[in-house]
Amino acid sequence: MQSRTHTCGELRITDAGKKVQLSGWMENFREVGAELGFVVIRDFYGTTQVVIETAEMMKTFKAITKESTISVEGVVRERSSKNPKLETGDIEVVPEKVTVLGRCRYNELPFEINHSREADEAARLKYRYLDIRNPEVKKNLILRSNVIAALRNAMIEHNFMEITTPILTVSSPEGARDYLVPARKHPGKFYALPQAPQQFKQLLMVSGIDRYFQIAPCFRDEDARGDRCPGEFYQLDMEMAFASQEDVFTIIEDVLPPVFAKYGKYNRASGSPFVRIPYLEAMEKYGTDKPDLRIDLTVTDVTELLRTEEFAPFAEGEIKAVVISDFHESRKFIDKTMADCEIQSGSKGYWFRVDENGEIVGGISKFVAPKKDEVVAKLGLKPDTLVVLSAGTKGAAQKMAGVLVKTFGSAVPGHMDKEQYAFCWIVDFPMYEIGEESGELEFCHNPFSMPSGGLDVLLKAEKGEIDPLSIMADQYDLVVNGIELSSGAVRNHDPEIMIKAFELVRLGEEDVKKKFPAMYNAFCYGAPPHAGIAPGVDRMVMLLSGEETIREVIPFPMNKNAQDIMMDAPGYVTDKQLEELHISITKTETSEE
């Protein structure tokens, strides 16, 4: 039995006179008179108006609740009053037969379908299947599907092989918390869901695979934020054998811009090659390793210039300044925006202003005015300029300066060219740092990145010929509009170099073997130089859609507390299930809803 001849978004004026059958949800019913009414039927593709012209048909439709699925058989005719906003706005269907396919048992819905985005988030997540019926919500899932298809096609065109890697694997000692899965046949042992296919994709390179990719699910037990959903996420995972950083950059700069140009909310995107900014320069110039290059504000170090014992915050540490020209906002605006920055950074901010007469006024002006000429010359100040400042340890001053750039840059008119996608590479990450808690040398980011200079530079550091803090790693981040889209690296594929890198942080061969036995053993059988990256698909779609939160582009997201309130997960299991897994619950706590 045929359920439909056309979709609800398909009929046009050229179809007038045809007998058709439509199937979909009854979105709306409007009774005008005893024998006149209008029904809107909706499916995945659009909506079509059905016009009721008999008392019998009116009785039939009045008995049907909204959001029931129905089948309508009838004749297409030209509308007397057309709706140019609808693709089907030139026609309507006069029904001859109506069949209820799936009745909605509720007279009242949790929210109006077409206004679901205005509803409480908890209601939207609990009734996500209703939320997705809203075309405004559904379009993000369509976008997601199109973007993934485009990425897959582009990778295949670049001779990458799609390979799926295991979901049940071993717990990793690095990174975020794992999701653990008890092993029934191995009491006391656990699998872990992969935080990323990192080890497997490197093992594929050792296996002789030249170019690998997959749209990979990743699982991390971490807290939510605007650009990160708890639980799981997806990434365009890729790895290349016999490859350098330049090879990875070439692929990414070839694959991503066309996708952003075709599917993005903005019609401008950075062309190849993307801007490259060394990590240390990014921290000094932008106060962050995730700069938003749509903003024209930068950070200037004014430590020596503004050092003074008369103002305690400037008596020690570092002082950073952000100059905001053409500033015409109120004192109230300054105070509110500065308060927002202080909440985000956890540090105090300071400011002064150059008024229309060129005088330094407001904020901490009395501590700056004695050095007016030097300050004006150093910062290039002109009338109607606001200067916001941070002070403290190097890290705290940089962090607050970065927040000042981002917050004031987006809030003050004329300093953010918002409607574009501004890509950049952050390169030359330090290999090591001094740990805040230990006070000793530690890995700064990825311990398995290849140190720039290889074994030679590590041996020099071991002999004391160079400072290990000066060693850079062949590691890179891809940033767009202030959001880290991905991290990647040239991998340390040589066991000798790997062991030496770990020895500098007081670890040795046995530690590496214990933590990563499969990968270390594989590398001992001859591994090719290899490099890779893994741009986040969810974040990419969020950027392309212009959404503020990542949950808007995920089909069935968890809430901020890592709960799926639609499926009631996580949930309790039976004692029998626990017994089979050799697990006993010794203590239960009531979690916050």
As given in the structure block, the two tokens for residue 450 are 């290849």
Tell me: do 324 and 233 sit in the same domain. no
Residue where a domain stops, chosen among 509, 524, 539 = 524
559-564: long-range pairs with CB below 8 Å, 24+: 559/121, 559/122, 559/125, 559/224, 560/223, 560/224, 560/230, 561/224, 561/230, 561/591, 561/592, 561/593, 562/221, 562/224, 562/230, 562/231, 564/125
The domain that holds 96 is classified in CATH as 2.40.50.140
Q: Do 484 and 359 belong to one domain?
A: no
Same domain? 340 vs 443? no
**Residues 186, 302: one domain?**
no
Question: What CATH number does residue 205 fall under?
Answer: 3.30.930.10
In a domain, 128, yes or no: no
Residues 401 and 318 in one domain: yes
Token pair recorded at residue 412:
């003050």
Examine the domain organization and report whether 256 and 302 are in the same domain.
no
Query: Which tokens is 17 given?
Result: 């006179």
Residue 450 lies in a domain: yes
Tally of structural domains, the chain: 4
Q: Are residues 304 and 341 in the same domain?
A: yes
DSSP category for residue 171: P
Which pLDDT tens digits describe the chain residue by residue (593 residues)? Answer: 568 999 999 999 999 999 999 999 999 999 999 899 999 999 999 999 999 999 999 999 999 999 999 999 999 999 999 999 999 999 999 999 999 999 999 999 999 999 999 999 999 999 999 999 999 999 999 999 999 999 999 999 999 999 999 999 998 766 678 999 999 999 999 999 999 999 999 999 999 999 999 999 999 998 877 677 888 999 999 999 999 999 999 999 999 999 999 999 998 899 889 999 999 999 999 999 999 999 999 999 999 999 999 999 999 999 999 999 999 999 999 999 999 999 999 999 999 999 999 999 999 999 999 999 999 999 999 999 999 999 999 999 999 999 999 999 999 999 999 999 999 999 999 999 988 788 889 888 888 899 999 999 999 999 999 999 999 999 999 999 999 999 999 999 999 999 999 999 998 888 888 888 899 999 999 999 999 999 999 999 999 999 989 999 999 999 999 999 999 999 999 999 999 999 998 877 665 44
Element housing 217 (H / E):
strand 211-220
Give the separation between CA 548 and CA 483, rounded to whole angstroms.
12
Q: Which of 559, 533, 588, 496 is nearest to 253 (CA)?
A: 533
Secondary structure letter of residue 120 according to DSSP: -
* Residue tagged 């740990």 (tokens): 435
Contact 362, 384 (CB under 8 A): no
What distance lies between CA 40 and its chain's CA centroid?
A: 36
Q: For residue 384, is it within any domain?
A: yes
Residues 140 and 250 in one domain: yes
Both 321 and 381 in a single domain? Answer: yes
Q: Are residues 402 and 440 in the same domain?
A: no
Question: Per 3-state DSSP, what percentage of the chain is helix, strand, and coil (rounded to 5)?
Answer: 35, 25, 40
In angstroms, rounded to a whole number, what is the distance separating the alpha carbons of residues 461 and 505? 12
255 part of a folded domain = yes
Q: Tell me, yes or no, whether 282 lies in a domain.
A: no
- Does residue 124 form part of some domain? no
Give the integer Cα–Cα distance in Å for 445 and 124: 38
Domain with 316 in it: 294-409
Mind giving me the DSSP string for 229-291?
-SEEEEEEEEEEET--HHHHHHHHHHHHHHHHHHH-SSS-BPPSSPEEEEHHHHHHHHSSSS-
Q: How far apart are CA 287 and CA 406, in angstroms?
A: 9
Specify the CATH number for the domain of residue 328: 3.30.1360.30
Which domain-ending residue is among 354, 376, 409?
409
What pLDDT does residue 246 have?
A: 97
Residue 227 in domain: yes
pLDDT of residue 448: 85
Beta-carbon count within 10 A of 433 CB: 14
Give the list of residues 6+ apart from residue 155 with CB closer than 8 angstroms, or none.
Answer: 162, 213, 236, 238, 255
Q: Are residues 154 and 219 in the same domain?
A: yes
Q: Burial-class residue 14 by CB neighbours within 10 Å (0-12, 13-18, 19+).
A: exposed
Tell me the C-alpha distance between 152 and 160, whole Å: 9
Is the residue at 123 inside a domain? no
381 vs 287: CA distance, rounded Å: 21
> What's the pLDDT at 587?
78
Domain ends where: 409, 430, 462?
A: 409
Q: Tell me: do 307 and 405 sit in the same domain.
A: yes
